[in-house]
Amino acid sequence: MLCPCGSTLLFNTCCQLFITQKQQANTPEQLMRSRFSAYAIKDGQYVFDTYGAAQRIKQSVSEIQLWADECQWLALVIHESGANTVEFSAYYVVDNTLCELREKSNFALEENKWRYIDGEITVHNEIANIKRNELCPCNRYPTAWSAKKGKKFKHCCAK
C-alpha cells in the first residue's frame, strides 16, 4: 500500500520505518508525515512517543488513540516546511463529516531526535456531510491512500 503521508513511496519504505523505529526522522517534515501516518494506521503510541518531553506530560496515549480511532484519516497536504516548522492540512472523516485541520507545527531536537512541540491551528472546518451513496471523499485528494476509485462512501471509508 502507498504511504498514508502522501508520498509516492510504499508504506514499508516510508513512514513505517519511523513508526517501527527502524529509522529516525531526519527532518521535521519527515516526523510530521510519520505522525499523520500513525494516525491513519491508528498507532496512538507512536504519536505520543514523538511529542517533546514537556508535552508528553500533558498527553495520554488513550486520548490520542481515541482520536485516531474515531477518524478515517484521508490525506495530508504539506503547505510549507521550514527548519523547525511544518504547515500542513490533514483531511479526515468523523461521523460522516469531511473535515480539514490546518496547522503550523513547531518541532525541536531533543536528544538528537526530532519531536513535536506544539502547533497553531489556523483552520479546523467541517467541509461537507457525506451521504452514504455519494462518491467517497478519499477520491478527492491526490494523496489519498485508501481510495478505491469510484466507490460510494458506504462501500469505502464508511465501513
The domains of the chain, with CATH numbers, are 11-129 (3.10.450.50)
Looking up cell 479546523, which residue turns up? 124
Kindly report the pTM of this predicted structure. Answer: 0.92
Instruction: Give pLDDT tens digits for 83-136.
Output: 999 999 999 999 999 999 999 999 999 999 999 999 999 999 999 899 988 888
DSSP 47: H
- Which DSSP category does 10 fall into? B
Question: Would you state the pLDDT for residue 90?
Answer: 95
Alpha-carbon distance values, 151 to 46, 137, 140, 157 (Å): 31, 10, 12, 9
The CA-to-CA distance between both ends of the chain, in Å, stands at: 18
